[in-house]
Chain A
Amino acid sequence: MLYARLIVSRLFKAVIVLFMIIIFNFFLIQMAPGDPAAILAGEAGATDAEFLRQLTERFGLDQPLHVQLWRYVSGVAMLDFGFSYRQQVPVLDLILARLPATLLLTGTAFVLSLVLGIVAGSLAAARVKKPSGSLIMALALVFYATPLFWVALMAVVLFSVYLDWLPAYGMYTVGAGLEGFAFALDVGKHLILPATTLALFFMAIYTRMTRASMLEAAQQDFVKTARAKGLKNSVIQRRHILRNALLPIITLAGLQAGQMVGGAILTETVFAWPGIGRLMFEALQQRDYNLLLGIFFFSAALVIVFNIITDLVYRLADPRIKEAS
């Protein structure tokens, strides 16, 4: 019952945010230099006057602004993101075809960064003021400052070109005609480099967060009690400190989801991963604004879904949190 109400209120909020993004997109098109009709047509150089006139009529570009806004909003509400005139396909079809690849990549990177980050962070917390603990934190600091696209390129040089261990481009071997398990294995091999490079930056964040959170939890009275009971240090670290330290990390992980979708744009560009990030890069190069804004809307929607999921997980993990908060 409580969850049902919670989900409804979250969904309501999500709809409002998405609605605001649609309005925002509309004004972005108005802001772009040149004729909005030409922009919607993908600024194709040889666009003929008759085609532009059709577009002007279809989007009511000769009508007052609020009528145009209404047409645009109601269009997007029906999941009509317009047409990519460069690729001659509706924007929605292009995005939906690329979405699974992005979900696979960001999902893998998310789990990878969270697991490795929590492990590294708790090791660092247990070895505070020892060289091994400091080393972990120094590495985290470096990963935190490393440009994502650069580490991806360097990984290509090292692991694909120099060592020839892993494929550098694409999601599967083209023309190999693999099926079933062999195909999954092939995709897995292609996934290793993009997912790992995308995960590094976030791993650094989770490592730092886990360490700080655990050191704080270690100050609490129940830890003293556990020590007084004579429990082993490893048990206290795992069962008492880590469990209590995890909550802020879940919150942070949800907030970082948006950054991960952004990071995917860079990793997918480097590894030619056929997801919406790569699609965004292609849209950029062709100045295909319809497609660009469609992807922007979808990435925001992805973030909102991610946030709702973390919110629910958070409440499952910690029943102390009341709905009011």
Chain B
Amino acid sequence: MNFFARFAQNRGALVGLIILLAIILMAILAPLLFPESPWRMVQRPFLPPLETEGFPLGTDTMGRNVAAGLMHGAWVSLLIGLVSTTVALAIGVPLGAIAGYYGGLVDDALMRFTEFFQTIPNFALAIVLVAIMQPSITSIVLAIAIVSWPPVARLVRAEFMSLRHREYVEAARLVGQTNATIILRQILPNTLSPIIVLASLMVATAILLESALSFLGLGDPNVMSWGYMIGAARTVIRQAWWLSFFPGVAILLTVLALNLVGEGLDDALNPKLARERS
């Protein structure tokens, strides 16, 4: 069975993929359908949904178009999710690879370092980092990456430890390949599938984290994001439930879709495990 057939066998994953594609489409279409800035005040504030043409989701406390904010927010969520996961991989993969490959004292030191970051409450650390660095896309991406790399390092380390004494690694060593070549060309390619699965789940967590930061007022003040929309509507929840409702559904669907796709990838990339589990 090829990769996609195995992926499609997991019906949840297929549903997740469709939702995810729809959200990516939303992000791409946002500047075409709503070329104006989502921050512009375009109508009377507090318009309920489905009552005025052109404002299917109503307007917010300042008379901004909720539908426009939702579509532009899709772009921000996906971007921050992807970039912060990439940065987290860039920290976690090398640390885990070095710890797992060399073992001994290096491993001890790196794992103590990783444990330290795992002990600190993630969300509190992210808040403190963004508050100190001042809210911006860069500081949010960095903060999310800094709190989410430890699981990557642990996973990569475990993979390297189980692979480093395999025959093909010994053979590579015998023909005189350097440690760097063995790590990058021999072992790393064999650890890719669990890393890909973990990364897809990390994008989901990163999107949740970003929305929570923006909800608390730590979002980038220049970009419209789903978390910001909910946070800004928090105090008027009694008068205008829809202002918080729709962005929340958007976050929920995106995160759910990514988790489903992650599980599907896991089934498709690790077929042996999937068979054992069912």
**A residues 132-151 in Cβ contact with B at 8 Å:** 141-142, 144-151
Task: Tell me if A61 is interfacial: C-beta within 8 Å of chain B.
Answer: no
**A residues 284-322 in Cβ contact with B at 8 Å:** 284-285, 287, 289, 292-293, 295-296, 299-300, 302-304, 307
Complex Cα spacing A26 to B259, Å: 37
Complex Cα spacing A105 to B251, Å: 25
Judge whether B124 and A142 touch: CB under 8 Å.
no
Judge whether A145 and B204 touch: CB under 8 Å.
yes
Contact pick for B230, options A153, A156, A263, A285, CB 8 Å:
A153
Task: Tell me if B101 is interfacial: C-beta within 8 Å of chain A.
Answer: no
Known contacts A28-B128, A280-B124; A285/B217 CB under 8 A? yes
A288 (CB) vs chain B CBs: closest residue: B131
The segment out of A170-178, A187-195, A264-272 that lies at the interface is A264-272
B253 (CB) vs chain A CBs: closest residue: A145
Q: Which residues of chain A are within 8 angstroms of B124 by Cβ–Cβ distance?
A: 261-262, 265, 280, 295-296, 299-300
Task: Tell me if A184 is interfacial: C-beta within 8 Å of chain B.
Answer: no
Known contacts A145-B204, A289-B132; A21/B120 CB under 8 A? yes
Task: Tell me if B211 is interfacial: C-beta within 8 Å of chain A.
Answer: yes
Contact pick for B120, options A146, A215, A293, A303, CB 8 Å:
A303
Interface centre among A259, A270, A284, A287 (most CB of B within 10 A): A284
Task: Tell me if B75 is interfacial: C-beta within 8 Å of chain A.
Answer: no
Task: Tell me if A32 is interfacial: C-beta within 8 Å of chain B.
Answer: yes
A interface secondary structure, majority:
helix
Judge whether A265 and B234 touch: CB under 8 Å.
no
Judge whether B208 and A141 touch: CB under 8 Å.
no
Contact pick for B123, options A20, A157, A263, CB 8 Å:
A263
Contact pick for B127, options A33, A153, A255, A284, CB 8 Å:
A284
**B residues 203-223 in Cβ contact with A at 8 Å:** 204, 208, 211-212, 215-218
**Interface residues of A, CB < 8 Å — how many?**
50
Judge whether A149 and B215 touch: CB under 8 Å.
yes
Task: Tell me if B84 is interfacial: C-beta within 8 Å of chain A.
Answer: no
Task: Tell me if A31 is interfacial: C-beta within 8 Å of chain B.
Answer: yes
Q: Which residues of chain A are within 8 angstroms of B212 by Cβ–Cβ distance?
A: 147-149, 266
Task: Tell me if B9 is interfacial: C-beta within 8 Å of chain A.
Answer: no
Task: Tell me if B200 is interfacial: C-beta within 8 Å of chain A.
Answer: no
A30 (CB) vs chain B CBs: closest residue: B132
Interface centre among A21, A149, A255 (most CB of B within 10 A): A149
**Interface residues of B, CB < 8 Å — how many?**
43
Q: Which residues of chain B are within 8 angstroms of A150 by Cβ–Cβ distance?
A: 230, 244, 247-248, 251-252
**B residues 74-114 in Cβ contact with A at 8 Å:** none
Judge whether B122 and A258 touch: CB under 8 Å.
yes
Q: Which residues of chain A are within 8 angstroms of B211 by Cβ–Cβ distance?
A: 147
Known contacts A150-B251, A258-B121, A259-B122; A270/B234 CB under 8 A? yes
Known contacts A28-B132, A157-B241, A265-B127; A149/B256 CB under 8 A? no
Task: Tell me if B255 is interfacial: C-beta within 8 Å of chain A.
Answer: yes
CB distance from A74 to the nearest CB of B (A): 21
CB distance from B108 to the nearest CB of A (A): 14
CB distance from A286 to the nearest CB of B (A): 11
Task: Tell me if B265 is interfacial: C-beta within 8 Å of chain A.
Answer: no
Judge whether A154 and B248 touch: CB under 8 Å.
yes
Task: Tell me if A17 is interfacial: C-beta within 8 Å of chain B.
Answer: yes
A160 (CB) vs chain B CBs: closest residue: B238
Task: Tell me if B245 is interfacial: C-beta within 8 Å of chain A.
Answer: yes
Query: Which residues of B approach A to under 8 Å, CB–CB?
Result: 12, 116, 118-125, 127-129, 131-134, 204, 208, 211-212, 215-218, 227, 230-231, 234, 237-238, 241, 244-245, 247-248, 251-252, 255-256, 259-260, 277
Pairs across A and B, CB under 8 Å, 14 listed: A141-B259, A145-B204, A145-B208, A145-B256, A146-B255, A266-B123, A266-B216, A285-B217, A292-B127, A292-B131, A295-B124, A302-B121, A304-B119, A307-B119
